[in-house]
Structure 1
Amino acid sequence: MMGLLACAMALMASLVSAREPEVKTVDVDADIVIAQDGSVREIDVGKDVAPGVAALVEKAVKQWRFEPVVRNGKPVMAKTGLTMDLAATKVGAGYSLRIQRVVFVSSRAKPLKYVVPGMPRTAMGSGMNFDVLAAMRVDPQGNVVEAALLSLQVRGGRREPKHLREDFAVEVERALKHSKFRPADVAAGERGDDTFYLPLDYRNALGRGASLTIAERFGDATPVPWLTPDQQPKLIELPESKGGMPVAMADSDVRLATKVVGATL
Protein backbone atom coordinates (compact mmCIF):
# COMPACT_ATOMS: atom_id res chain seq x y z
CA MET A 1 0.00 0.00 0.00
CA MET A 2 2.78 2.41 0.89
CA GLY A 3 4.48 1.66 -2.42
CA LEU A 4 1.28 2.42 -4.35
CA LEU A 5 0.81 5.65 -2.38
CA ALA A 6 4.39 6.76 -3.12
CA CYS A 7 3.93 6.03 -6.81
CA ALA A 8 0.66 7.98 -6.89
CA MET A 9 2.27 10.97 -5.17
CA ALA A 10 5.21 10.90 -7.57
CA LEU A 11 2.79 10.77 -10.53
CA MET A 12 0.79 13.72 -9.18
CA ALA A 13 3.99 15.72 -8.64
CA SER A 14 5.13 15.04 -12.20
CA LEU A 15 1.73 16.09 -13.58
CA VAL A 16 1.81 19.36 -11.59
CA SER A 17 5.37 19.98 -12.73
CA ALA A 18 4.39 19.32 -16.33
CA ARG A 19 1.62 21.90 -16.11
CA GLU A 20 3.89 24.60 -14.65
CA PRO A 21 5.08 27.03 -17.35
CA GLU A 22 8.79 27.25 -18.01
CA VAL A 23 10.12 30.55 -16.64
CA LYS A 24 13.50 32.09 -17.44
CA THR A 25 15.07 35.36 -16.30
CA VAL A 26 16.26 37.79 -18.95
CA ASP A 27 18.59 40.64 -17.94
CA VAL A 28 18.45 43.85 -19.97
CA ASP A 29 20.83 46.82 -19.78
CA ALA A 30 20.09 50.10 -21.55
CA ASP A 31 20.90 53.81 -21.50
CA ILE A 32 17.98 56.24 -21.39
CA VAL A 33 17.73 60.02 -21.67
CA ILE A 34 14.93 61.62 -19.65
CA ALA A 35 13.57 64.92 -20.94
CA GLN A 36 12.86 67.87 -18.65
CA ASP A 37 9.13 67.02 -18.58
CA GLY A 38 9.80 63.41 -17.48
CA SER A 39 9.22 61.75 -20.86
CA VAL A 40 11.77 59.34 -22.34
CA ARG A 41 13.71 61.14 -25.05
CA GLU A 42 16.10 58.36 -26.07
CA ILE A 43 16.77 54.71 -25.29
CA ASP A 44 19.75 52.61 -26.34
CA VAL A 45 19.44 48.92 -25.48
CA GLY A 46 22.64 46.93 -24.95
CA LYS A 47 24.03 45.00 -27.92
CA ASP A 48 23.92 41.66 -26.06
CA VAL A 49 20.10 41.76 -25.87
CA ALA A 50 18.22 39.66 -28.46
CA PRO A 51 16.72 41.90 -31.20
CA GLY A 52 13.14 40.79 -30.50
CA VAL A 53 13.47 41.52 -26.78
CA ALA A 54 15.22 44.84 -27.48
CA ALA A 55 12.35 45.97 -29.71
CA LEU A 56 9.77 45.18 -27.01
CA VAL A 57 11.84 46.95 -24.34
CA GLU A 58 12.27 50.06 -26.51
CA LYS A 59 8.54 50.25 -27.25
CA ALA A 60 7.60 49.88 -23.57
CA VAL A 61 10.23 52.24 -22.12
CA LYS A 62 9.35 55.03 -24.56
CA GLN A 63 5.88 55.09 -22.99
CA TRP A 64 7.19 55.45 -19.42
CA ARG A 65 6.93 58.72 -17.54
CA PHE A 66 9.34 59.93 -14.87
CA GLU A 67 9.13 62.60 -12.26
CA PRO A 68 11.16 65.53 -13.64
CA VAL A 69 14.79 65.25 -12.55
CA VAL A 70 15.58 68.36 -10.51
CA ARG A 71 19.16 69.53 -9.95
CA ASN A 72 20.11 72.86 -8.42
CA GLY A 73 16.39 73.64 -8.14
CA LYS A 74 15.61 73.27 -11.86
CA PRO A 75 14.22 70.43 -14.02
CA VAL A 76 17.00 69.10 -16.27
CA MET A 77 17.56 66.52 -18.97
CA ALA A 78 19.22 63.46 -17.44
CA LYS A 79 20.93 60.39 -18.82
CA THR A 80 21.06 57.23 -16.73
CA GLY A 81 21.57 53.50 -17.05
CA LEU A 82 18.66 51.09 -16.81
CA THR A 83 18.92 47.54 -15.52
CA MET A 84 15.78 45.45 -15.96
CA ASP A 85 15.01 41.85 -14.95
CA LEU A 86 12.35 40.19 -17.11
CA ALA A 87 10.50 36.95 -16.35
CA ALA A 88 10.15 35.05 -19.63
CA THR A 89 7.29 32.51 -19.49
CA LYS A 90 6.94 29.90 -22.23
CA VAL A 91 3.74 30.47 -24.22
CA GLY A 92 3.24 28.27 -27.26
CA ALA A 93 6.20 28.69 -29.58
CA GLY A 94 7.35 31.90 -27.88
CA TYR A 95 7.63 33.68 -24.53
CA SER A 96 5.66 36.25 -22.55
CA LEU A 97 7.89 38.88 -20.90
CA ARG A 98 6.97 40.44 -17.54
CA ILE A 99 8.98 43.12 -15.70
CA GLN A 100 10.26 41.86 -12.35
CA ARG A 101 12.74 44.55 -11.32
CA VAL A 102 13.96 47.94 -12.55
CA VAL A 103 17.01 49.82 -11.23
CA PHE A 104 18.54 53.08 -12.48
CA VAL A 105 22.31 53.41 -12.09
CA SER A 106 25.14 55.07 -13.96
CA SER A 107 25.96 52.98 -17.03
CA ARG A 108 29.53 54.32 -16.90
CA ALA A 109 30.39 51.73 -14.24
CA LYS A 110 31.33 49.30 -17.02
CA PRO A 111 35.10 49.87 -17.49
CA LEU A 112 36.77 50.08 -20.89
CA LYS A 113 40.05 49.08 -19.25
CA TYR A 114 40.05 47.37 -15.86
CA VAL A 115 43.22 46.87 -13.80
CA VAL A 116 42.37 44.65 -10.84
CA PRO A 117 44.28 45.33 -7.59
CA GLY A 118 46.48 42.38 -6.67
CA MET A 119 47.03 40.80 -3.28
CA PRO A 120 49.88 42.47 -1.35
CA ARG A 121 52.88 40.29 -0.51
CA THR A 122 52.18 40.69 3.20
CA ALA A 123 48.85 38.87 2.67
CA MET A 124 50.15 36.01 0.52
CA GLY A 125 50.47 32.66 2.22
CA SER A 126 48.85 33.93 5.41
CA GLY A 127 46.03 31.39 5.25
CA MET A 128 43.56 34.27 5.60
CA ASN A 129 40.70 35.42 3.39
CA PHE A 130 40.21 39.12 2.69
CA ASP A 131 36.97 40.87 1.69
CA VAL A 132 37.68 44.34 0.35
CA LEU A 133 35.53 47.32 -0.57
CA ALA A 134 37.16 50.06 -2.62
CA ALA A 135 35.88 53.27 -4.19
CA MET A 136 37.05 55.22 -7.21
CA ARG A 137 36.26 58.69 -8.50
CA VAL A 138 35.97 59.00 -12.29
CA ASP A 139 36.24 62.32 -14.15
CA PRO A 140 34.27 63.38 -17.28
CA GLN A 141 36.95 61.90 -19.55
CA GLY A 142 36.70 58.48 -17.87
CA ASN A 143 39.96 58.69 -15.92
CA VAL A 144 40.19 57.39 -12.35
CA VAL A 145 41.47 60.46 -10.52
CA GLU A 146 41.10 59.12 -6.97
CA ALA A 147 40.83 55.66 -5.41
CA ALA A 148 40.54 54.55 -1.81
CA LEU A 149 40.27 51.44 0.34
CA LEU A 150 37.04 51.74 2.35
CA SER A 151 36.85 48.39 4.08
CA LEU A 152 39.10 45.38 4.70
CA GLN A 153 37.62 42.43 6.57
CA VAL A 154 40.00 39.64 7.53
CA ARG A 155 38.73 36.11 8.06
CA GLY A 156 40.86 33.24 9.31
CA GLY A 157 44.21 33.37 11.06
CA ARG A 158 44.96 34.63 14.52
CA ARG A 159 46.51 38.00 13.90
CA GLU A 160 46.38 40.48 11.04
CA PRO A 161 49.80 40.85 9.36
CA LYS A 162 51.63 44.10 10.08
CA HIS A 163 50.92 47.02 7.74
CA LEU A 164 48.28 44.92 5.92
CA ARG A 165 45.70 47.70 5.55
CA GLU A 166 48.28 50.18 4.33
CA ASP A 167 49.55 47.65 1.78
CA PHE A 168 46.05 46.95 0.47
CA ALA A 169 45.35 50.69 0.27
CA VAL A 170 48.51 51.29 -1.77
CA GLU A 171 47.71 48.43 -4.18
CA VAL A 172 44.08 49.57 -4.61
CA GLU A 173 45.11 53.12 -5.48
CA ARG A 174 47.96 52.06 -7.76
CA ALA A 175 45.92 49.59 -9.83
CA LEU A 176 42.62 51.42 -10.12
CA LYS A 177 44.24 54.64 -11.33
CA HIS A 178 45.29 52.69 -14.44
CA SER A 179 41.66 51.76 -15.22
CA LYS A 180 39.62 53.64 -17.79
CA PHE A 181 35.88 54.27 -18.09
CA ARG A 182 33.57 55.63 -20.77
CA PRO A 183 33.57 59.45 -21.05
CA ALA A 184 30.46 61.14 -19.70
CA ASP A 185 27.78 62.32 -22.12
CA VAL A 186 27.45 65.65 -20.32
CA ALA A 187 25.40 67.22 -23.14
CA ALA A 188 22.69 64.59 -22.53
CA GLY A 189 22.64 65.27 -18.80
CA GLU A 190 25.00 62.53 -17.63
CA ARG A 191 27.04 63.31 -14.54
CA GLY A 192 30.66 64.11 -15.31
CA ASP A 193 32.01 63.28 -11.85
CA ASP A 194 31.06 59.74 -10.78
CA THR A 195 31.92 57.52 -7.84
CA PHE A 196 31.94 53.74 -8.30
CA TYR A 197 32.39 50.98 -5.74
CA LEU A 198 34.35 47.78 -6.10
CA PRO A 199 33.92 44.60 -4.00
CA LEU A 200 36.96 42.33 -4.20
CA ASP A 201 37.63 38.89 -2.74
CA TYR A 202 41.13 37.62 -2.02
CA ARG A 203 41.49 33.94 -1.18
CA ASN A 204 44.68 32.18 -0.07
CA ALA A 205 45.28 28.55 -1.05
CA LEU A 206 44.92 27.62 2.62
CA GLY A 207 41.62 29.41 3.11
CA ARG A 208 38.12 29.30 1.70
CA GLY A 209 34.93 31.20 2.48
CA ALA A 210 31.78 32.67 1.05
CA SER A 211 31.92 36.24 -0.22
CA LEU A 212 30.44 39.07 1.82
CA THR A 213 27.66 41.13 0.28
CA ILE A 214 28.28 44.78 -0.51
CA ALA A 215 26.05 45.76 2.43
CA GLU A 216 28.18 43.63 4.77
CA ARG A 217 31.35 45.25 3.43
CA PHE A 218 29.91 48.68 4.18
CA GLY A 219 29.42 47.62 7.80
CA ASP A 220 32.81 48.91 8.94
CA ALA A 221 33.68 51.08 5.93
CA THR A 222 35.33 54.47 6.31
CA PRO A 223 33.71 57.46 4.54
CA VAL A 224 34.57 58.07 0.90
CA PRO A 225 37.28 60.80 1.19
CA TRP A 226 36.09 62.99 -1.72
CA LEU A 227 32.36 62.93 -0.85
CA THR A 228 30.66 65.30 1.61
CA PRO A 229 28.67 63.82 4.53
CA ASP A 230 25.35 64.16 2.66
CA GLN A 231 26.86 62.47 -0.44
CA GLN A 232 28.02 59.34 1.36
CA PRO A 233 26.43 56.10 0.03
CA LYS A 234 23.16 55.01 1.59
CA LEU A 235 22.48 51.31 2.09
CA ILE A 236 19.02 51.67 0.53
CA GLU A 237 20.73 52.61 -2.74
CA LEU A 238 23.04 49.59 -2.78
CA PRO A 239 23.05 47.48 -5.95
CA GLU A 240 23.64 43.75 -6.04
CA SER A 241 27.23 42.52 -6.10
CA LYS A 242 28.59 41.99 -9.61
CA GLY A 243 31.38 39.55 -8.73
CA GLY A 244 34.41 41.79 -8.57
CA MET A 245 33.23 44.37 -11.12
CA PRO A 246 32.68 48.09 -10.37
CA VAL A 247 29.13 49.06 -9.43
CA ALA A 248 27.35 52.39 -9.04
CA MET A 249 24.82 53.45 -6.46
CA ALA A 250 21.24 53.88 -7.64
CA ASP A 251 20.40 57.27 -9.15
CA SER A 252 18.29 58.62 -6.27
CA ASP A 253 16.97 61.56 -8.30
CA VAL A 254 15.60 59.31 -11.07
CA ARG A 255 12.10 58.22 -10.07
CA LEU A 256 9.37 56.62 -12.15
CA ALA A 257 5.89 58.18 -12.24
CA THR A 258 4.59 55.15 -14.17
CA LYS A 259 4.07 51.80 -12.43
CA VAL A 260 6.07 49.32 -14.48
CA VAL A 261 6.99 46.37 -12.22
CA GLY A 262 4.60 43.52 -13.01
CA ALA A 263 3.71 44.89 -16.44
CA THR A 264 3.93 42.63 -19.50
CA LEU A 265 5.87 43.81 -22.54
Structure 2
Amino acid sequence: MFRLILLLALAAAPFTVPAQSEAEVRAQAQASMVVSGSLDIEPDGLVSSLALEKEDQLPAYVVRAARNAVATWRFEPVILDGVARPVRLFIRLRVVAVPADDGGLTLSIGGVSFLDRDVPATDGFESIRQLPPEYPYYALERNASGDVYLLLEINREGRVARSAVERVNLRGVADEPTMDTLRRHFSEAALKAARRWHFRPPSTGPDAGEPSWTARVPVSYVMHGTVQSDQYGKWTAYVPGPVQSAPWLEDRAADANDAIASGSIQLVGAGPKLLTPLQPEG
Protein backbone atom coordinates (compact mmCIF):
# COMPACT_ATOMS: atom_id res chain seq x y z
CA MET A 1 0.00 0.00 0.00
CA PHE A 2 2.64 2.55 0.99
CA ARG A 3 4.85 1.71 -2.00
CA LEU A 4 1.92 2.70 -4.23
CA ILE A 5 1.40 5.95 -2.34
CA LEU A 6 5.07 6.88 -2.70
CA LEU A 7 5.07 6.29 -6.44
CA LEU A 8 1.83 8.19 -6.92
CA ALA A 9 3.23 11.13 -5.01
CA LEU A 10 6.20 11.27 -7.33
CA ALA A 11 4.07 10.69 -10.40
CA ALA A 12 2.24 13.88 -9.51
CA ALA A 13 5.51 15.75 -9.19
CA PRO A 14 5.40 19.20 -10.77
CA PHE A 15 8.16 18.99 -13.39
CA THR A 16 8.45 16.66 -16.34
CA VAL A 17 10.60 13.55 -16.74
CA PRO A 18 12.13 12.40 -20.03
CA ALA A 19 11.24 8.73 -20.64
CA GLN A 20 14.85 7.60 -20.88
CA SER A 21 15.74 8.79 -17.36
CA GLU A 22 12.47 8.30 -15.49
CA ALA A 23 13.26 4.87 -14.05
CA GLU A 24 16.74 5.91 -12.96
CA VAL A 25 15.57 9.01 -11.15
CA ARG A 26 12.57 7.33 -9.53
CA ALA A 27 14.90 4.66 -8.18
CA GLN A 28 16.48 7.38 -6.04
CA ALA A 29 13.16 8.39 -4.50
CA GLN A 30 12.54 8.14 -0.78
CA ALA A 31 9.84 9.24 1.59
CA SER A 32 10.17 10.56 5.11
CA MET A 33 7.99 11.26 8.11
CA VAL A 34 8.83 13.55 11.03
CA VAL A 35 7.83 12.42 14.52
CA SER A 36 8.73 13.89 17.90
CA GLY A 37 8.48 13.20 21.60
CA SER A 38 10.65 12.86 24.71
CA LEU A 39 13.66 10.66 25.39
CA ASP A 40 14.97 9.60 28.82
CA ILE A 41 18.72 9.01 29.10
CA GLU A 42 20.09 7.30 32.22
CA PRO A 43 23.39 8.17 33.96
CA ASP A 44 25.15 5.31 32.12
CA GLY A 45 24.07 6.79 28.76
CA LEU A 46 21.47 4.13 27.95
CA VAL A 47 17.97 5.07 26.82
CA SER A 48 15.25 4.02 29.27
CA SER A 49 12.14 5.30 27.48
CA LEU A 50 10.79 7.01 24.37
CA ALA A 51 7.39 8.74 24.39
CA LEU A 52 6.15 9.83 20.95
CA GLU A 53 3.65 12.64 20.51
CA LYS A 54 0.26 11.63 19.07
CA GLU A 55 1.46 8.04 18.99
CA ASP A 56 -2.06 6.70 18.46
CA GLN A 57 -2.25 8.68 15.19
CA LEU A 58 1.01 7.28 13.78
CA PRO A 59 1.33 4.08 11.73
CA ALA A 60 2.21 1.17 14.04
CA TYR A 61 5.18 0.20 11.84
CA VAL A 62 6.65 3.72 12.19
CA VAL A 63 6.32 3.61 15.98
CA ARG A 64 7.90 0.14 16.03
CA ALA A 65 10.81 1.23 13.80
CA ALA A 66 11.50 4.28 15.99
CA ARG A 67 11.39 2.29 19.23
CA ASN A 68 13.59 -0.51 17.87
CA ALA A 69 16.26 1.95 16.73
CA VAL A 70 16.22 4.15 19.83
CA ALA A 71 16.48 1.11 22.13
CA THR A 72 19.98 0.45 20.72
CA TRP A 73 21.28 3.97 21.31
CA ARG A 74 23.91 4.80 23.88
CA PHE A 75 25.03 8.33 24.73
CA GLU A 76 28.07 9.77 26.38
CA PRO A 77 26.94 10.27 30.01
CA VAL A 78 25.58 13.74 30.72
CA ILE A 79 27.70 15.33 33.46
CA LEU A 80 26.09 18.00 35.64
CA ASP A 81 28.06 19.46 38.58
CA GLY A 82 30.64 16.72 38.16
CA VAL A 83 28.11 13.87 38.37
CA ALA A 84 26.52 11.73 35.64
CA ARG A 85 22.79 12.36 35.83
CA PRO A 86 19.60 11.24 34.08
CA VAL A 87 18.15 13.71 31.57
CA ARG A 88 14.96 14.05 29.57
CA LEU A 89 15.27 15.55 26.11
CA PHE A 90 12.80 16.61 23.45
CA ILE A 91 13.54 14.52 20.36
CA ARG A 92 12.68 15.01 16.70
CA LEU A 93 13.14 12.04 14.36
CA ARG A 94 13.01 11.74 10.60
CA VAL A 95 11.93 8.23 9.63
CA VAL A 96 12.95 7.35 6.07
CA ALA A 97 11.18 4.77 3.91
CA VAL A 98 12.76 3.19 0.82
CA PRO A 99 10.94 0.60 -1.35
CA ALA A 100 12.57 -2.81 -0.98
CA ASP A 101 13.19 -5.36 -3.74
CA ASP A 102 10.43 -7.61 -2.37
CA GLY A 103 7.81 -4.87 -2.77
CA GLY A 104 7.81 -3.95 0.91
CA LEU A 105 9.53 -1.09 2.73
CA THR A 106 12.84 -0.57 4.45
CA LEU A 107 12.49 1.92 7.31
CA SER A 108 15.39 3.66 9.01
CA ILE A 109 16.14 6.72 11.12
CA GLY A 110 17.53 9.33 8.75
CA GLY A 111 18.14 12.17 11.21
CA VAL A 112 17.58 13.27 14.78
CA SER A 113 17.56 16.52 16.72
CA PHE A 114 17.68 16.92 20.49
CA LEU A 115 16.47 19.83 22.60
CA ASP A 116 16.74 20.24 26.35
CA ARG A 117 13.69 22.30 27.28
CA ASP A 118 15.21 23.18 30.68
CA VAL A 119 18.11 25.04 29.05
CA PRO A 120 17.78 28.87 29.10
CA ALA A 121 17.01 30.49 25.76
CA THR A 122 20.24 32.50 26.10
CA ASP A 123 22.22 29.25 25.69
CA GLY A 124 21.24 29.18 22.01
CA PHE A 125 20.81 31.51 19.04
CA GLU A 126 18.04 34.04 18.57
CA SER A 127 17.15 35.41 15.15
CA ILE A 128 17.41 39.20 14.83
CA ARG A 129 17.07 39.44 11.04
CA GLN A 130 16.31 36.39 8.94
CA LEU A 131 14.44 37.38 5.80
CA PRO A 132 13.52 34.44 3.56
CA PRO A 133 15.19 34.04 0.17
CA GLU A 134 13.48 34.82 -3.12
CA TYR A 135 11.94 31.88 -4.95
CA PRO A 136 14.18 31.21 -7.97
CA TYR A 137 12.43 31.99 -11.25
CA TYR A 138 13.88 28.81 -12.80
CA ALA A 139 12.09 26.77 -10.11
CA LEU A 140 8.88 28.81 -10.38
CA GLU A 141 8.72 28.10 -14.10
CA ARG A 142 8.86 24.38 -13.35
CA ASN A 143 6.57 24.48 -10.30
CA ALA A 144 9.43 22.88 -8.34
CA SER A 145 9.76 22.59 -4.56
CA GLY A 146 12.71 21.60 -2.40
CA ASP A 147 14.57 21.88 0.89
CA VAL A 148 18.04 23.42 1.28
CA TYR A 149 20.14 22.64 4.37
CA LEU A 150 22.66 25.40 5.03
CA LEU A 151 25.78 25.35 7.19
CA LEU A 152 26.63 28.82 8.51
CA GLU A 153 29.71 30.02 10.36
CA ILE A 154 28.44 32.79 12.67
CA ASN A 155 30.87 35.20 14.34
CA ARG A 156 30.60 36.83 17.74
CA GLU A 157 28.73 39.79 16.25
CA GLY A 158 26.04 37.36 15.10
CA ARG A 159 26.87 37.85 11.41
CA VAL A 160 27.32 35.08 8.87
CA ALA A 161 31.04 34.91 8.13
CA ARG A 162 30.94 31.90 5.83
CA SER A 163 28.19 29.75 4.39
CA ALA A 164 27.84 26.46 2.53
CA VAL A 165 25.08 24.20 1.26
CA GLU A 166 25.07 20.79 2.92
CA ARG A 167 22.23 19.16 0.93
CA VAL A 168 19.31 20.00 -1.36
CA ASN A 169 16.35 17.59 -1.43
CA LEU A 170 13.85 17.97 -4.28
CA ARG A 171 10.11 17.19 -4.13
CA GLY A 172 9.83 15.81 -7.64
CA VAL A 173 11.72 14.11 -10.42
CA ALA A 174 13.30 15.35 -13.65
CA ASP A 175 16.32 14.49 -15.76
CA GLU A 176 19.61 14.84 -13.93
CA PRO A 177 20.70 18.11 -15.63
CA THR A 178 17.41 19.78 -14.66
CA MET A 179 17.63 18.52 -11.09
CA ASP A 180 21.24 19.71 -10.82
CA THR A 181 20.19 23.13 -12.11
CA LEU A 182 17.28 23.29 -9.67
CA ARG A 183 19.58 22.44 -6.78
CA ARG A 184 21.99 25.16 -7.91
CA HIS A 185 19.29 27.84 -8.15
CA PHE A 186 17.76 26.89 -4.80
CA SER A 187 21.25 26.91 -3.24
CA GLU A 188 22.28 30.28 -4.67
CA ALA A 189 19.07 31.95 -3.50
CA ALA A 190 19.40 30.52 0.01
CA LEU A 191 23.08 31.51 0.30
CA LYS A 192 22.36 35.04 -0.94
CA ALA A 193 19.69 35.51 1.73
CA ALA A 194 21.78 33.91 4.49
CA ARG A 195 24.65 36.36 4.01
CA ARG A 196 22.33 39.14 5.23
CA TRP A 197 21.04 37.27 8.27
CA HIS A 198 21.81 38.46 11.79
CA PHE A 199 21.60 36.45 15.01
CA ARG A 200 22.08 37.00 18.73
CA PRO A 201 24.73 34.44 19.77
CA PRO A 202 24.65 32.45 23.04
CA SER A 203 25.43 34.58 26.07
CA THR A 204 25.22 31.75 28.62
CA GLY A 205 25.93 28.04 28.66
CA PRO A 206 28.83 25.91 27.41
CA ASP A 207 28.94 27.48 23.94
CA ALA A 208 28.92 31.14 25.00
CA GLY A 209 32.69 31.66 24.94
CA GLU A 210 33.38 30.31 21.46
CA PRO A 211 35.03 32.65 18.89
CA SER A 212 32.52 31.46 16.28
CA TRP A 213 29.85 28.81 15.79
CA THR A 214 28.69 26.57 12.97
CA ALA A 215 24.93 26.28 12.70
CA ARG A 216 22.63 24.26 10.48
CA VAL A 217 19.59 26.11 9.10
CA PRO A 218 16.98 24.52 6.81
CA VAL A 219 15.25 26.56 4.10
CA SER A 220 12.07 25.22 2.47
CA TYR A 221 10.84 26.26 -0.97
CA VAL A 222 7.23 25.10 -1.18
CA MET A 223 4.88 25.70 -4.11
CA HIS A 224 1.17 26.10 -3.47
CA GLY A 225 -0.43 22.70 -2.96
CA THR A 226 2.83 21.00 -1.96
CA VAL A 227 3.00 19.33 1.47
CA GLN A 228 5.55 20.79 3.89
CA SER A 229 8.48 18.41 4.36
CA ASP A 230 8.18 18.51 8.15
CA GLN A 231 4.39 18.19 8.51
CA TYR A 232 3.98 15.99 11.57
CA GLY A 233 3.13 12.35 10.97
CA LYS A 234 2.75 12.74 7.17
CA TRP A 235 4.80 11.00 4.53
CA THR A 236 6.58 13.26 2.05
CA ALA A 237 8.18 11.88 -1.11
CA TYR A 238 11.46 13.42 -2.27
CA VAL A 239 14.71 12.79 -4.10
CA PRO A 240 17.67 13.34 -1.72
CA GLY A 241 20.63 15.35 -2.93
CA PRO A 242 24.32 14.61 -2.36
CA VAL A 243 25.79 15.57 1.02
CA GLN A 244 28.66 18.05 1.25
CA SER A 245 30.47 19.40 4.29
CA ALA A 246 31.59 22.96 4.93
CA PRO A 247 35.30 23.57 4.18
CA TRP A 248 35.92 25.24 7.56
CA LEU A 249 34.70 22.22 9.56
CA GLU A 250 37.87 20.24 8.73
CA ASP A 251 37.84 17.13 10.96
CA ARG A 252 34.65 18.25 12.73
CA ALA A 253 32.46 16.91 9.95
CA ALA A 254 28.76 17.69 10.13
CA ASP A 255 26.26 14.84 10.44
CA ALA A 256 23.97 16.01 7.60
CA ASN A 257 20.99 16.16 9.94
CA ASP A 258 17.71 16.92 8.17
CA ALA A 259 15.41 16.33 11.16
CA ILE A 260 15.24 19.98 12.17
CA ALA A 261 12.23 22.17 11.55
CA SER A 262 12.17 24.77 8.79
CA GLY A 263 13.10 28.19 10.17
CA SER A 264 14.99 26.80 13.16
CA ILE A 265 18.72 26.89 13.86
CA GLN A 266 20.88 24.11 15.29
CA LEU A 267 24.45 24.30 16.53
CA VAL A 268 26.62 21.63 14.93
CA GLY A 269 28.14 19.43 17.62
CA ALA A 270 25.94 20.76 20.44
CA GLY A 271 23.76 18.60 22.65
CA PRO A 272 24.23 15.02 23.85
CA LYS A 273 26.83 12.89 22.08
CA LEU A 274 25.45 9.72 20.55
CA LEU A 275 28.05 6.93 20.63
CA THR A 276 26.13 4.39 18.54
CA PRO A 277 24.71 4.55 14.99
CA LEU A 278 21.29 6.12 14.44
CA GLN A 279 20.14 2.95 12.76
CA PRO A 280 21.39 -0.45 13.97
CA GLU A 281 22.57 -2.87 11.31
CA GLY A 282 20.43 -5.79 10.32
TM-score normalised to structure 1 length: 0.48
TM-score normalised to structure 2 length: 0.45
User: Does 1 or 2 have the higher relative contact order (CA < 8 Å, sep 6+)?
Assistant: 2
Larger Cα-atom Rg: 1
